[in-house]
Every structure is written in structure tokens, then in C-alpha cells.
């Protein structure tokens, strides 16, 4: 997973190398970016069930498909899929 200079890390994550915690931070940011800061709203906009979002936060990871959906919804500048998946050479569409 890469880090994004667009989103500064909170102090508790500075120097943290646990990819699950970094993933959770970025997914929570995506939820907060919704009008009502709701995981359900994010899920609906992504075309997945709310349970998909909750499980991703719990597991600290997601599928390539979910990462692509997040990138498409928010734009690569803000949420590149590399923030959510560990394979750095995903095909760019």
C-alpha cells in the first residue's frame, strides 16, 4: 500500500507500518467524505452492501474491485486504489 501526501496521517499513525491500520484510516476518511459521514451512504454510492464496508474496516483490507470503485468515486488524486490494496502494479484504467 502506498501513502498519499494529500491526506496527512494522524499522530498515532506516523511511523506506523501496519498496513491494516493505514487501510482503516483511509477507508474511514472515505466514509467521512460522504455528505452524512455514513458507511451506508458510501456503500450505496459504490454499489455494494453496507456489510462490505464494515467487513473491510474490520479485516483491514478489501478486494481489488472495491479499491477500484473507491478510486472511481472519489478520483485518483484523493483516493488512489493503492491506498487500499497491497499490489502496487494494478492495471490503471
Per-residue pLDDT of 48-66, as tens digits, reads 999 999 999 999 999 999 9
- Asked, for residue 91, whether it belongs to a domain, the answer is no
- pTM attached to this predicted model: 0.82
- Asked, for residue 11, whether it belongs to a domain, the answer is no
Note the pLDDT tens digit of each residue in 36-50: 999 999 999 999 999
- Asked, for residue 26, whether it belongs to a domain, the answer is yes
Assigned C-alpha cell, 27: 477507508
Q: What range does the domain containing 52 cover?
A: 18-83
- Asked, for residue 9, whether it belongs to a domain, the answer is no
- Asked, for residue 1, whether it belongs to a domain, the answer is no
- Asked, for residue 23, whether it belongs to a domain, the answer is yes
Nearest residue to 67 via CA among 44, 41, 40, 86:
86
- Using CB atoms within 10 Å of the CB of residue 14, give its burial: 0 to 12 exposed, 13 to 18 middle, 19+ buried: exposed
- Asked, for residue 58, whether it belongs to a domain, the answer is yes
Nearest residue to 73 via CA among 41, 49, 25, 50:
41
- Asked, for residue 37, whether it belongs to a domain, the answer is yes
Name the domain count of the chain.
Answer: 1
Q: Which is it for the CA torsion 46, 93, 88, 22, positive or negative?
A: negative
Amino acid at each position: 500500500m502506498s501513502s498519499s501526501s494529500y491526506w496527512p496521517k494522524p499522530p498515532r499513525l506516523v511511523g506506523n507500518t501496519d498496513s491494516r491500520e493505514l487501510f482503516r484510516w483511509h477507508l474511514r476518511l472515505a466514509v467521512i467524505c460522504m455528505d452524512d459521514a455514513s458507511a451506508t451512504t458510501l456503500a450505496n454510492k459504490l454499489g455494494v452492501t453496507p456489510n462490505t464496508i464494515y467487513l473491510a474496516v474490520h479485516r483491514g483490507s478489501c478486494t481489488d474491485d472495491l479499491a477500484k470503485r473507491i478510486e472511481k468515486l472519489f478520483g485518483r488524486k484523493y483516493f488512489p486504489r493503492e491506498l487500499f490494496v497491497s499490489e502496487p502494479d494494478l492495471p490503471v484504467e
